[in-house]
Amino acid sequence: MSMAGRASASLSRRLRQRIREQGPVSAGVFISEALFDPREGFYATKDPIGAGEDFITAPEVSQMFGELIGLWLAQAWQRLGAPRPVQLIELGPGRGTMMKDILRAARAVPGFAKALNVTLVEISPALITVQAQSLDQAPCPVHWRATLQQAPKGPGLILGNEFLDCLPVRQLVRQGGNWHERLVDCGPDGGFCFVLDPVPAPASVQALIPPALREAQDGALVEVRPAIATLAEHLAERFAAAPGLALFIDYGPAQSEPGDSLQAIRAHQKVDPLAAPGSADLTTRVDFAELARIARNAGLQVFGPVPQGQWLKALGLEYRAADLMRKHPEQKARLARQVHRLSDAGEMGTLFKAIAIAAPGTPAPDGFAP
Ligand code: SAH
**One-letter identity of residue 81:** G
Spacing, Cα 162 to ligand 1 middle (Å): 7
Mean residue pLDDT of the chain comes to 95
Q: Which of residues 215 and 4 earns the better pLDDT score? A: 215
| 271 three-state secondary structure | strand
Residue 27 has pLDDT above 70, yes or no: yes
Q: Which of residues 51 and 141 earns the better pLDDT score? A: 141
Q: Are strands 263-266 and 281-283 parallel, antiparallel or unpaired?
A: antiparallel
Given 3-state DSSP classes, what are the helix, strand and coil percentages for the chain, each rounded to the nearest 5?
A: 45, 25, 35
| CATH pick for 58-167+226-252+287-358 out of 3.40.50.150, 3.90.1310.10, 3.90.1170.50, 3.40.50.300 | 3.40.50.150
Between CA 66 and CA 283 the distance in angstroms is 22
Between CA 44 and CA 11 the distance in angstroms is 13
Closest C-alpha to ligand 1, atom 5: 94
Q: What is the pLDDT of residue 171?
A: 98
Q: What is the pLDDT of residue 238?
A: 98
Residue 3 has pLDDT above 50, yes or no: no
Average pLDDT score over residue span 245-250:
98
**Model confidence over 48-77: pLDDT tens digits?**
888 788 889 999 999 999 999 999 999 999
Please give the torsion angle defined by the CA atoms of residues 124, 260, 161 and 305, in that order, rounded to the nearest 10 degrees: -160
How far is residue 7 from each of residues 11, 316, 317, measured CA to CA in Å? 6, 45, 42
Q: Is the CB of 93 under 6 A from ligand 1?
A: yes
Point out the ligand 1 atom lying closest to the alpha carbon of residue 165. 9
Task: Give 222's strand partners.
Answer: 172
- First-to-last C-alpha distance (Å) of the chain: 49
Are 248 and 165 in contact by the 8 Å Cβ rule? The answer is: no
Spacing, Cα 288 to ligand 1 middle (Å): 18
Residue 1 has pLDDT above 70, yes or no: no
How far is residue 359 from each of residues 159, 239, 276, 305, measured CA to CA in Å? 15, 6, 43, 16
Q: What is the pLDDT of residue 4?
A: 44
Q: What is the pLDDT of residue 8?
A: 57
Q: What is the pTM of this model?
A: 0.96
**Model confidence over 320-368: pLDDT tens digits?**
999 999 999 999 999 999 999 999 999 999 999 999 999 999 999 999 9
Average pLDDT score over residue span 128-149:
97
What are the sequence ranges of the domains in the chain? 58-167+226-252+287-358
Residue 293 has pLDDT above 80, yes or no: yes
Residue 5 has pLDDT above 80, yes or no: no
Point out the ligand 1 atom lying closest to the alpha carbon of residue 124. 15
Q: Which of residues 188 and 300 earns the better pLDDT score? A: 300
